[in-house]
Structure formats: structure tokens, C-alpha cells
Amino acid sequence: MYKYLLIGGNGFIGTNIIYKLLEKGRDVYCIDVYDSNTKNIDDKHFKSFINDLSDTDLVKELVDATDIIIYLASTSNVRDSSSDSLIELGNIESFINTLEIIKEYKNKKLILASSGGTVYGEPGDMPVNEDHCLMPISPYGIGKVCVENFLKYYSSKYGIKYVICRYSNPYGQFQNPFSGVGVINKVLYDYHAGNETEIIGNPDASVRDYIYISDLVDATLEVAENKSAENNIFNVGSGRGHSLTEILTEIESVLGYKLRLKKGNFGIENVSKIVLDITKINETVGWNPKIGLREGISLNNEWIKQILDVQK
């Protein structure tokens, strides 16, 4: 029964992982500067610490008490770091400081959340596998490549066991609809709130790989607890590409309503097309996604309605 530490665990992905781990009866520790999604969890197996990573004594205690560390901490996204690239320096520094602590513990395993949607840049032929060269076109993607490389360096020098998960575009429950990140979540929220949705770029040309959050969580825990996955990199996605036009059509089908859309500008930092090859994770640990696009949108829609009901 592994004990887990989630660093930056109160966000979208981390919250879903925490609930899944508690469902499995695992002991879970979380450190984050926010407590928005997990503050109401009442479970003897869960302990939350609202703090940043500068408290090295606390981080050491938590690393010492656990077996698997899932690193999700980040203060940026593609949009934010494109307007202020220096944000990524803070992310990189925090990760290196964490590695400096973990390197003293030879029996720990570190799972790093990376970004399959940004690290490959514009790869051309798709789907793209893990061996493809990394050519990010955004500061956010550059930052992810940097921390990946630091992790591989520390593993080589100090023997840290790791898994890098390059996630595609996740969506689903606990994703913040007010952040403007996550097109499916944002479009559904705008519909129920009576807002127009700003569509960036050409919806026919914008192609992404979308994964429902429960599939992402299952994949993460599979590679975390499977020894054959150690010291490896895995794409985690659906393995299928959908244009923004397809996404909007599916959403309209689920809602039974024509969306109100407006055009926005497409930043040069946004990848136009990316689809991940998920053969490696399937062959290594036997994982495949279970939730199709239509079902995922329906589940996300129920989550948005639940949020709005709480606000009333």
C-alpha cells in the first residue's frame, strides 16, 4: 500500500488523483499554496498542508513519510507565460529545489506531470511518439522540457526513480471554468452562464488530443505503481485528434443547442495540431482510455451544472 505525496495537488489534476487514491484506501499527503478543491475532504488517510515549497523542512518530512511523489506544481499556463516568460524561472527553481531533497532518498519514486500538448511543438506527422524531438514554441513548453531534462540529469547522477507523464488536453470535473483554460470546460460553462465563447483561430485547423480526467488519473497511477514503467516517459492521451469544429459540434449535440461564438486572435505560442501516440503506455502497463469524447463531454456538462447549482 504505497503512500503518496502530491506537490501542487489541489489543482484540477491533483484533486482528481487524490479522490481516486482515497477511494483505493491509500494514505495521501498534499502540499499546495491553495486549498480550494480539497479543503472539505474529511478522511483519516488524507493530510493537507497549505504552504509553498520554500519550507524545505516540511517538504523533507513529507518526502520521508511517503513512497511516491507526484509533482504537479506550476504557476503558469501557455497564455500566462507567453505574456511573462519569467514565470517559468520560478517553476524551474521550485522543481530543482525539490529534486535536491528527493536525491537523498534512494527508495522514492517521482512522477512528473509534463505537457504532451506543448513539448513537441508543431511535429508535422502524427500521432507523435515519445522519441520525437522536442521543439516547444511557447515559454510554457520550454519550461516543461527544462524540468524534464533536470529530472533525467538527477536520475542519472543520484539514482532517482522517475516517470514522466506527457499529458494531452485533459478535461472534466474539478477543472476551473473561470480560468479560461480548457476549451470543453469553458464552452460548457459559457453556455450555462449565458455567455458568448471566444474561439481562438480557425476551428477547422485547430486539432488537439483530448483526454477525460478519470482516464488520465488511471494512467498516472498505473505507471506510478508499476515497476516496469520506472525511468520512462509516456504520452498520456486519447491517441485521437479532434478539430475544434468537431468539439463544438459534439458539445452542441450534447446540449441540444446552438452555441453563441465569437472570434479571437490566435497567439503564435499556441500549437495548431497535436495528437499523441499512446502505444508505449499501452504496451508497458496495459493502459487504454475508456471514456469517449461524447461521454466525456456529457460528464463534464454535469460537473458544470453542479458548480452553477452550488453558486445559486
- Higher-pLDDT residue of 229 and 309 is 229
Check if 140 is active-site. Answer: yes
Rounded distance between C-alpha atoms, residue 34 and residue 283, angstroms: 37
Q: Is the pLDDT of residue 81 over 60?
A: yes
What is the structure's pLDDT at 268? 61
Rounded distance between C-alpha atoms, residue 19 and residue 41, angstroms: 9
Q: Is the pLDDT of residue 282 over 80?
A: yes
Average pLDDT, the chain: 93
* 38-54 average pLDDT score: 92
Q: What is the pLDDT of residues 186-245, one digit of tens each?
A: 999 999 989 888 887 788 889 999 999 999 999 999 999 999 999 999 999 999 999 999
Q: Pick the catalytic residue: 4, 19, 29, 140? A: 140
Q: In this structure, how many other beta carbons lie within 10 angstroms of the beta carbon of residue 20?
A: 17
Please state the length of the chain: 312
C-alpha cell belonging to residue 287: 493502459
What is the structure's pLDDT at 106? 87
What is the structure's pLDDT at 11? 93
Q: What is the pLDDT of residues 13-22, one digit of tens each?
A: 999 999 999 9
Give the global pTM: 0.95
What is the structure's pLDDT at 267? 60
What is the structure's pLDDT at 40? 86
What is the structure's pLDDT at 100? 97
Domains of the chain: 3-172+210-239+277-290 (3.40.50.720)
Q: Is the pLDDT of residue 266 over 60?
A: no
The DSSP bridge pattern shows strands 27-32 and 3-7 to be parallel
Range in 88-102, 172-186, 254-268, 287-301 the model is least confident about: 254-268
Q: In this structure, how many other beta carbons lie within 10 angstroms of the beta carbon of residue 50?
A: 13
What is the structure's pLDDT at 146? 98
Banded model confidence at residue 265, pLDDT cuts 50, 70, 90: low
Banded model confidence at residue 312, pLDDT cuts 50, 70, 90: low
The closest of 224, 100, 99, 239 to 167, measured between CA atoms, is 239
What is the structure's pLDDT at 311? 61
% pLDDT > 90, the chain? 79
Q: What is the pLDDT of residues 88-140, one digit of tens each?
A: 999 999 999 999 999 999 899 999 999 999 999 999 889 999 999 999 999 99
Q: What is the pLDDT of residues 178-200, one digit of tens each?
A: 777 789 999 999 999 898 888 87
